[in-house]
Amino acid sequence: MGKSIVYFTKEITPEKLIEIYEKLGVTLKGNIGIKVSTGEAGSKGYLKSELIKPLVDKLNGTIVECNTAYPGERNNVKDHLKVAEEHGFTKMGKGIEILDEKGDFKIPVNGGKHLKFDRIGKGFEHYDSFINLAHGKGHAMGGFGANLKNQSIGFASRKGKAYIHSCGKTSSPKLCWILKYEQVDFIESMAEAAKAVSDYVESTNRQIVYITVANDISLDCDCDAHQGDPVIKDIGIFASLDPVANDQAFLDAIWKTHEEGTKSIEERIDTRCGRHITEYAEELGLGSTDYELIEF
């Protein structure tokens, strides 16, 4: 697999977000879903409406999310929508849809070691195209979160999230947290689920593009109600047609920072085997870790 193109800008503005999307040279068709993390109640690093609303409005897109498997304010539709409204996600484009509100369906996992299938929200079928619009940051379980996590855990239903977190052992949100698993198996399960979504998009003639906004980079995820402050400065925005390359570019950018908090986020990522996700996703054929960075 040859080098993938990753576009990058240091400027994190609504105008640059639109511009980097346009750099991809893809005209998304039909009904467009924009997959973000709405952020747990109490978190502060989620992508802010003032940044993404102009792009969402321009595309007349719909914010799409799925409920969480963990106990919290977003594990049911009613409370999830309340948090989403508080965080500004309901008043842009066509509004918001919780994809697993009416259940889920299984899609195949090809070539995986851990998952036999993936479970994504039924509402996925309402859309012809997607922007995987991720917030790049650390993560307590995955080491970091960007496009691959947003595609795997993000598109998965509650039961799908449980299935990924348990490395294919259970679809029960209650049981998945008490079952033991190897950390590397969890990282690989996320990659397998991300590949399953990509394969399903391709097999159904849909489209998907990838953007990561690397700002407010804390050690913990937007799913953490007690998310801490950023540990390094904002990096910029990355965009690609290849989620593996886009995540790799984000990781490489972290390792190129030399700030007081750089070591802490590197340790967070490596103690969770986080960098393995791009290696394994490449092995699965999802994309390439070899990329050309085009800065503008």
| Mean pLDDT calculated for residue range 144-157 | 98
Tell me: the pLDDT tens digits for 111-120? 999 999 999 9
Question: What is the model's pLDDT at position 1?
Answer: 56
pTM: 0.97
Question: What is the model's pLDDT at position 172?
Answer: 97
What average pLDDT does the structure give for the chain?
97
* Percent of the chain whose predicted confidence (pLDDT) is above 90: 97
Whether residue 125 has pLDDT greater than 90: yes
Question: What is the model's pLDDT at position 164?
Answer: 98
| Mean pLDDT calculated for residue range 10-35 | 98
Tell me: the pLDDT tens digits for 239-259? 999 999 999 999 999 999 999
Which residues sit opposite 217 in a β-bridge? Answer: 232
Whether residue 96 has pLDDT greater than 80: yes
Question: What is the model's pLDDT at position 228?
Answer: 94
- Which own/partner contact pairs does 172-180 have at CB distance under 8 Å and 24+ positions apart? 173/69, 173/70, 173/75, 176/69, 177/70
Question: What is the model's pLDDT at position 267?
Answer: 98
Whether residue 121 has pLDDT greater than 90: yes
Question: What is the model's pLDDT at position 94?
Answer: 98
Question: What is the model's pLDDT at position 224?
Answer: 86
According to the 3-state scheme, what is the secondary structure of 99-148?
CCCCCEEEEECCCCCCCCEEEEEHHHHHCCEEEEEEECEEECCCEEECHH
| Dist CA 104 CA 128 (whole Å) | 17
Tell me: the pLDDT tens digits for 167-225? 999 999 999 999 999 999 999 999 999 999 999 999 999 999 999 999 999 999 998 88
